[in-house]
Each structure stands twice: as C-alpha cells, then as structure tokens.
Amino acid sequence: MEDNNYESNYFTLTDEDGNEIDFEVIGQYEKNGEQYFAMIPAEEEDDDNDILEYVILKLAKENGEEILVTVDDDDELDDIADYFDDLFSQEIDYDN
C-alpha cells in the first residue's frame, strides 16, 4: 500500500488491485524506531457499532520513498495492536 498524503490526518492508500481508499489516522505510535498508524476508512462513520475496527500500518522506505505497509510479523502486530487497544479503551466514556 502506498502513502500519497503523509502530512495530514488522512491518507489516500492504493490497494493491491489499484483501488484508492481514503483513511483517517486515529492513532500513531513509535516503537523501536518504527512508526505505526491506526486507521479507519474515512467514509465509514457507523455510530451504531460499539466495536472500533481499524487497520495498523507501518511506515517503511522503498526506493527512497516513504510508504505504508502491512505488518506481516504476527508478534509485532499483536504488540502494536495491544498498545492501540489500550489507548482507545482509555478514551471510551463507559458512563454514557
């Protein structure tokens, strides 16, 4: 997946089939010199769903360009997902 707009809170990513999809960055995390982003599709605003579903992508360099890639290592992905899950659970107001 490519990053076409790195500077804002939104990324336009191109999937393996060439489809462009807008994503909103909802979290950012740096660990061991790696930068990770939690993102949700920008067009999905489903307030009826209580479960936050997001994707995690990692910043990488390819041919001198910064791109976003999927995290292929299961242990690495689990570790980063745990961080984001903890972060997002702290932001939920359970009293309402």
- DSSP conformation letters of 27-77: EEEEETTEEEEEEEETT---TT--S---EEEEEEEETTEEEEEE---HHHH
Closest CA to 85 of 59, 53, 58, 57: 53
24 within domain boundaries: yes
Please indicate, yes or no, if residue 95 is contained in any of the structural domains: no
Q: Is 21 a member of any domain?
A: yes
Is 96 a domain residue? no
pLDDT at 34: 95
> What total number of domains does the chain contain?
1
The pLDDT tens digits along the chain (96 residues) read 444 444 458 888 888 899 999 999 999 999 999 999 999 988 755 555 556 689 999 999 999 999 899 999 999 999 999 999 999 887 665 555
pLDDT score for 2: 43
pLDDT, position 8: 56
- Whether residue 20 lies inside any domain: the answer is yes
Calpha distance 5→11 (Å, rounded):
5
